[in-house]
């Protein structure tokens, strides 16, 4: 029987450290960290994350300002709002909730965020620095995934890791972080042949494909560490990319949904924002 990875428990250790840092800052007469979140439209997943981010910020004494714009907003109006936030000294970090409505140029809008406030690490400047190994903001979900893997006590160096999905927000940065830890990494995607065979050779599997219960027991090597990044609603219930009940008996460690990766992302966001203030 595998061990569930308690994302809330791992997040708590970071929470305590960040809470002390923020309390010390306020006690010294300085402003509390401030995060601005921009949401265009009413995507249900984005609204869920927005609510979660707001709750965690409140718990840690971080000021959280949300700007919800109409789904019919133009690129110019969204970029104008971001420009205002870039120029506002009291705001230390800016996050853009994704996905944007299809008619908007996502890359163009992301890159309108100042790289100095891009605490989600999505701009070209931060991405370029990340892959060159330079100081930058690292995408929050990817950071959280790495911390969850480390929490199991596994020595990542030399391990075979498979990342299912090649998105710029999760798949690619997770793969790079694992390479940085000296793992041998394979990225699988829709054109990969015999994904099951590739996964069965992996000591670590990160599933980020957005297909409910895609990863089943026959994908998994006995004792592997499985990180489920998926988030879908099936029959009114939150469901991940991994068939949890099927896989937990074979995996060494497995993150639940909810209670796994989602618990870490807002904490990494605040951690990055605190880096702005150093």
For domain 140-262, the CATH superfamily is NAD(P)-binding Rossmann-like Domain (3.40.50.720)
User: Kind and range of the H or E element at 205?
Assistant: strand 204-207
With a cut of 80, say whether residue 150 has pLDDT above it.
yes
Statement: residue 13 has pLDDT above 80: yes
Among candidate residues 167, 148, 269, the one with its CA nearest the CA of residue 208? 167
Task: Report the chain's terminal Cα–Cα distance, integer Å.
Answer: 44
Backbone φ and ψ for 246, nearest 5 degrees, come out as: -80, -35
Q: How confident is the model at residue 167 (pLDDT cuts 50, 70, 90)?
A: very high
User: How far from 29 is each of 26, 142, 153, 276, CA to CA, in Å?
Assistant: 5, 33, 39, 17
What is the rounded distance in angstroms from the CA atom of residue 8 to the CA atom of residue 88? Answer: 33
The residues of the chain that CATH labels 3.40.50.10860 are: 30-116
Average pLDDT of span 15-42:
92
Chain-centroid distance, C-alpha 203:
21
- 238 — pLDDT class (breaks 50, 70, 90): confident
Nearest Cα residue to 66 out of 78, 77, 79, 53: 53
What are 100-129's pLDDT values in tens digits? 999 999 999 999 999 999 999 999 999 999
The ranges of the chain annotated as CATH 3.40.50.720 are: 140-262
Q: How many CA atoms lie within 13 A of 194 on its CB side?
A: 4
216-232 pLDDT per residue, tens: 999 999 999 999 999 88
Residue 258 pLDDT exceeds 80:
yes
Q: What is the mean pLDDT of the chain?
A: 94
Q: Is the confidence at residue 276, as pLDDT, over 90?
A: no
- Are 277 and 35 within 8 A, CB to CB? no
| pTM, full prediction | 0.92
DSSP at 133: T
The answer, yes or no, to whether residue 14 has pLDDT greater than 80, is yes
Q: Which CATH number fits domain 30-116: 3.40.50.720, 3.40.50.10860, 3.20.20.70, 3.40.50.300?
A: 3.40.50.10860
């Amino acid at each position: 029987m595998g061990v569930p990875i308690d994302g809330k428990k791992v997040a708590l250790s970071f929470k305590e450290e960040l809470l002390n840092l923020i309390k010390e800052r306020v006690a010294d007469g300085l402003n509390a960290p401030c995060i601005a979140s921009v949401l265009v439209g009413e995507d249900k997943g984005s609204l869920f994350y927005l609510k979660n981010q707001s709750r965690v910020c409140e718990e840690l004494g971080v000021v959280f300002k949300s700007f919800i714009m109409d789904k019919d907003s133009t690129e110019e109006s969204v970029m104008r709002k971001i420009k205002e936030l870039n120029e506002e000294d009291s705001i230390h970090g800016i996050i853009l909730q994704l996905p944007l409505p299809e008619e908007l140029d996502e890359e163009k809008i992301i890159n309108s965020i100042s790289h100095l406030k891009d605490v989600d690490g999505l701009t070209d400047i931060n991405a370029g620095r990340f892959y060159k190994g330079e100081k930058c903001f690292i995408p929050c979900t990817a950071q959280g995934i790495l911390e969850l893997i480390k929490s199991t006590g596994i020595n990542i160096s030399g391990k075979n890791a498979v990342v299912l999905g090649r998105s710029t927000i999760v798949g690619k940065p997770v793969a790079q972080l694992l390479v940085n830890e000296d793992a041998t990494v394979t990225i699988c995607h829709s054109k990969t042949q015999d994904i099951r065979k590739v996964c069965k050779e992996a000591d670590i599997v990160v599933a980020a494909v957005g297909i409910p219960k895609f990863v089943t027991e026959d994908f998994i090597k006995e004792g592997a560490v499985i990180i489920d990044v998926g988030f879908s609603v099936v029959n009114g219930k939150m469901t991940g990319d991994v068939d949890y009940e099927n896989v937990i008996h074979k995996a060494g460690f497995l993150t639940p949904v909810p209670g796994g990766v989602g618990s870490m992302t807002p904490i990494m966001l605040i951690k990055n924002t605190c880096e702005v203030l150093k």
